[in-house]
């Protein structure tokens, strides 16, 4: 039922273990542990009803129909089990407050959670500090402190710490913030995003100026041209993938718990202003709030004979999932009391989807088509309607969330158990467990190379593609080899055109379709949508500009772009190579950015998609709209590349084709084990695999080889 890769991920990250590291449970035991823990908090139910509910929770997880966020799978049933994925912590403008928040973040990271921060309340760098007769360090300086603290924490030994750092576009230090990750060895435990305001976007549209506001006094300090700030954002995003963009005023306008003031500044409704999001940007939260996420594997609900979803079965699972996530709030052990208060007062949950790309394939619909957009809207509207109905039912039985009386839901006479109900979240690791495609992303590749124990490399083929290829009679070992080498079907002969059209991968799809797909899901989602807008390495800043203008036009709450190899290309110019050729037939050109000297070396890595180089001078990269929140593997300075070591690598072990019988060494011999980690910036930092197994999905890095994720 679970794939070999899923079992490996579960064993490494999720199973309970004894003191020696030996697993104490299998998949069935894990999901029983989680189901029993989450069902047990149904205080108003009888023992028989709790047992029945636990059985239903177990069934939908063991059948890979629903998965909660990773901390719930890891920690449910443990002493002091912290079950939430997302937290936002306030950062006050005092030395004591800044370091208290840093300590709190460390405690959260230890339990497996990710943290978001707005540094917008901190006074700008070099601002006088009366209490010490000195000057302020500024937001970027303290972000560096938080980054170092995160580096020292490994989330319970199972997840690496992840942070979101945000700064308002009207903060006096905004230019320093925008360039904070230009040096790619800095802030590698942070995604950073600019919180864009409506006045900024208005000034940008009019090619005018806007005011930078001192956070302590609330008074303007100077005016700057919106275009200059905007161009700086885009240049950095094009070069490094960051900073990202979050439309903070739009987010607050749609928040039911938003603070509302009368003309004299008195609070008339609401309890919060949202200043930040979780690390991947899909969950806006007020200070101290947390959220529990879960995703339904919609590919499991396609009735292929009818080319439609099994809506009745899906409805039942959506309602059961809402109940599951609401129970998580009560089963949770919160790391800090103020987080418990904020979370219990709002009871936010975030139910979303995964397996969307595979669902479309089963429906016979190409991802980049009007039909797919229509299907996305229909599906998410059904999700939203059904999930809200479930939350209303729970409110009638258990009561509305405590802050309900201060919200727009109260004004509308809608009694809900949860302030927000739906979110499209990253599903990197849980989608591996569920054996499906990630979130609402298209397929990253039709096949890829995966390393298993002992160094054996497997060419893993998408099971839907393999099934269709065999049914249609065009399957062969040689064809699978070519597809693994190319990473896409676009230039592979021997595949029927209708199949190429159906099995499109992320880099086959133009940015317009990526943005429109995100917008289709956002239209019926309470919170936000995590999605990566992929670009090829040769994409221009003008391309990125068009994507973000479309995102603003289509009312997205935030947006993420990633230009293929953008971080890597700062250091290396790696020509496209054949990963399955012998070493003596391959030459890779490595160009250092600080010189014009090229080194021809015998090194190759099997790429799931082609990697390009620096095709465009950064001086040409003056553009007009923003990039979204992304996480990228740290690049290395050019001088760190060890050419001698690269050329001395040894041949790989045999590579085999999954599910296709034995393959000879001659057929699948890879050229080298790969360059050292410091050479290949897209290597997985955990398993060290060099084959572009570390892919960008929903602003989150995920290794398809070992299940590593940064989020």
Q: Residue count of the chain, please give it.
A: 711
| β-pair partners for 293 | 350
Q: Which of 163, 278, 327, 346 is catalytic?
A: 278
| Residue 494 Rama label (left phi>0; alpha psi -120 to 50; beta) | left
What CA–CA distance (Å, rounded) separates 369 from 86? 33
Which of 63, 83, 73, 70 shows the shortest CA–CA distance to 16?
73
Concerning whether 282 is annotated as a catalytic residue, the answer is yes
**For residues 671-692, b (16+ Cβ closer than 10 Å) or e, as one string?**
bbbbbbebbbbbbbebbbbbbb
Do residues 601 and 592 lie in contact, with contact meaning Cβ atoms separated by under 8 Å? no
**From the CB of residue 491, how many other CB atoms can be counted at a distance below 10 Å?**
9
Q: What is the DSSP letter of 261?
A: E
How many angstroms separate the CA atoms of 349 and 326, rounded? 7
- Paired sense of beta strands 134-135 and 163-168, if any: unpaired
- Strand 276-277, strand 284-285: pairing: antiparallel
Asked whether the beta carbons of 299 and 359 are under 8 A apart, the reply is yes
Distance CA 75, CA 526 (A): 27
Instruction: Select from 497, 550, 491 the least CA-distant residue to 520.
Output: 550
Q: What is the spatial distance between Cα 423 and Cα 295, in angstroms, rounded to a whole number? A: 9
Tokens of 39: 């069902």
Please identify which of the residues 65, 235, 275, 282 carries the catalytic annotation: 282
**What is the spatial distance between Cα 319 and Cα 418, in angstroms, rounded to a whole number?**
13
The tokens of 667 are what?
């057929």
CB atoms within 10 A of CB 607: 25
In this structure, the number of other CB atoms found within 10 A of the CB of residue 141 comes to 15
Separation between Cα atoms, residue 440 and residue 438, nearest integer Å: 6
- Quickly count helices (H) and strands (E) in the chain: 23, 29
Whose structure tokens read 């947390």?
290
- Extract the tokens encoding 52: 């029945």
β-partners of residue 39 are none
Backbone angle region of 604, left / alpha / beta, with phi > 0 → left and psi within -120 to 50 → alpha: beta
CB atoms within 10 A of CB 265: 6
Max CA distance (Å), the chain: 79
Q: Which run of H or E residues covers position 352?
A: strand 349-354
Q: Side-chain half-sphere of 51: how many Cα atoms within 13 Å?
A: 3
From 102, 280, 291, 684, the catalytic residue: 280
Q: Which residues are catalytic?
A: 278, 280, 282
């Amino acid at each position: 039922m679970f794939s070999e890769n899923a079992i490996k991920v579960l064993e490494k990250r999720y199973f309970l273990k004894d003191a020696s590291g030996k697993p104490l449970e299998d998949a069935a035991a894990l999901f029983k542990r989680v189901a029993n823990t989450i069902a047990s908090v149904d205080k108003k139910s009888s023992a028989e009803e709790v047992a029945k509910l636990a059985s239903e929770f177990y069934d939908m997880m063991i059948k890979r129909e629903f998965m909660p966020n990773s901390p719930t799978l890891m920690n449910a049933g443990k002493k002091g089990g912290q079950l939430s994925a997302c937290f936002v912590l306030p950062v006050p403008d005092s030395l004591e407050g800044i370091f208290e928040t840093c300590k709190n973040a460390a405690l959260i990271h230890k339990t497996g959670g990710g943290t978001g921060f707005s540094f917008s309340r901190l006074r700008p760098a070099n601002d006088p500090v009366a209490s010490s007769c000195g000057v302020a360090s500024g937001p970027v300086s303290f972000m560096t402190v938080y980054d170092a603290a995160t580096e020292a924490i490994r989330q319970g030994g199972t997840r690496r710490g992840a942070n979101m750092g945000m700064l308002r576009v009207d903060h006096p230090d905004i230019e320093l913030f925008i360039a904070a990750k230009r040096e790619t060895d800095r802030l590698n435990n942070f995604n950073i995003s600019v919180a864009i305001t409506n006045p900024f976007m208005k000034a940008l549209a009019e090619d005018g100026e806007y005011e930078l506001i001192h956070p302590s006094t609330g008074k303007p300090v100077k005016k700057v041209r919106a275009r200059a700030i905007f161009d700086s954002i885009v240049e950095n995003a094009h070069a490094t993938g960051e900073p990202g963009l979050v439309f903070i005023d739009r987010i607050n306008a749609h928040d039911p718990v938003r603070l509302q003031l009368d003309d004299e500044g008195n609070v008339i409704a609401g309890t919060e202003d949202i200043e930040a999001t979780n690390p991947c940007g899909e969950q806006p939260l007020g200070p101290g709030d947390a959220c529990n996420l879960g995703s339904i594997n919609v590919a499991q609900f396609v009735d292929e004979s009818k080319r439609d979803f099994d809506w009745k079965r899906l409805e039942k699972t959506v309602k059961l999932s809402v109940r599951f996530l609401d129970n998580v709030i009560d089963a949770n052990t919160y790391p800090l009391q103020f987080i418990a208060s904020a979370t219990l007062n709002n009871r936010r949950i975030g139910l979303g989807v995964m397996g969307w790309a595979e669902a479309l394939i089963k429906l016979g619909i190409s991802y980049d088509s009007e039909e797919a957009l229509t299907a996305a809207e229909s599906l998410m509207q059904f999700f939203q309607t059904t999930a809200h109905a479930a939350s209303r039912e729970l409110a009638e039985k258990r009561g509305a969330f405590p802050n309900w009386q201060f919200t727009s839901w109260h004004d509308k006479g809608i009694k809900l158990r949860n302030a927000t109900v739906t979110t499209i979240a990253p599903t990197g690791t849980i989608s591996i467990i569920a054996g499906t495609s990630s979130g609402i992303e298209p397929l990253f590749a039709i096949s890829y190379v995966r390393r298993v124990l002992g160094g054996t490399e497997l060419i893993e083929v998408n099971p839907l593609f393999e099934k269709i290829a065999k049914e249609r009679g065009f399957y062969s070992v040689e064809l699978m080899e070519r597809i693994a080498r190319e990473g896409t079907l676009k230039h592979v002969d021997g595949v029927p055109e209708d199949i190429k059209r159906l099995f499109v991968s992320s880099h086959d799809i133009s940015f317009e379709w990526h943005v429109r797909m995100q917008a289709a899901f956002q239209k019926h989602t309470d919170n936000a949508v995590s999605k990566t807008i992929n670009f090829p390495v040769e994409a221009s800043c003008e391309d990125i500009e068009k994507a973000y203008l479309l995102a603003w036009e289509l009312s997205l709450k935030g947006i993420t772009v990633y230009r293929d190899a953008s971080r890597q290309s700062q250091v290396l110019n790696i020509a496209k190579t054949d990963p399955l050729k012998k070493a003596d037939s391959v030459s890779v050109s490595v160009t250092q950015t600080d010189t014009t000297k090229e080194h021809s070396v015998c090194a190759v890595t099997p790429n799931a998609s082609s990697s390009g180089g620096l095709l465009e001078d950064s001086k040409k990269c003056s553009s007009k709209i923003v990039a979204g929140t992304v996480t990228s593997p740290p690049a290395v300075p050019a001088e760190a590349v060890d050419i001698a070591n690269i050329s001395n690598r040894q041949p790989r072990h045999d590579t085999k084709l999954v599910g296709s019988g034995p393959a000879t060494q001659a057929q699948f011999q890879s050229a080298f084990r790969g360059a050292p980690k410091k050479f290949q910036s897209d290597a997985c930092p955990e398993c060290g695999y060099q084959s572009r197994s570390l892919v960008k999905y929903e602003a989150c890095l995920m290794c398809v080889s070992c299940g590593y994720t940064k989020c």
